[in-house]
Structure 1
């Protein structure tokens, strides 16, 4: 599923997206979902957990590989997407919508890419 990089989101070099300030919704990009292949298992962090940017906080398993899920910014996990944990294919089918992973309350200033910078990083269309 190759698609344009949504302009309203911010991105990490680890192929995660964030939407919002204060409390941000986090997911993986379509680029990451495409690279992983069919996602079959998702382990999400527990609500209430404090995470630091770059820290492993979960796991994504596909038919191709098992990958760590990294915290994109410093914060506290306030919600997880139980629907995606139950139906991991949502990450492949709708990575920027129903396939979101978790929400966290930001406690640090994130260093993120805008859509144009992320598109240039991945070679995708912005």
Structure 2
């Protein structure tokens, strides 16, 4: 019964969204020393190998800067929204859409090709 109250839904959804944003921020922070050293971090998975189409993410210095901005500002929004939003509002949906938006922005910043950029757009 306690988890069905509006205030607990707000707390749980804000906690989950904040934890996800914080974990992503730390994951990118772990890659920062290599990127600052001049390396370009790449990950690639083949979608359609016969056509040469793949899912590729690429992080260089500029992409790391944008990822830091996206994750840092997103984390601040999660913290602010936790205290600003009313418990009666649909906060789990808000936090889910905020995380989806952050993921799409990260996809745009890290995409390795124009097809992937258009998909994340």
TM-score for the superposition, normalised by structure 1: 0.28
The structure with the largest helix share of the pair is 2
The structure with the largest strand share of the pair is 1
Bigger Rg, which one: 2
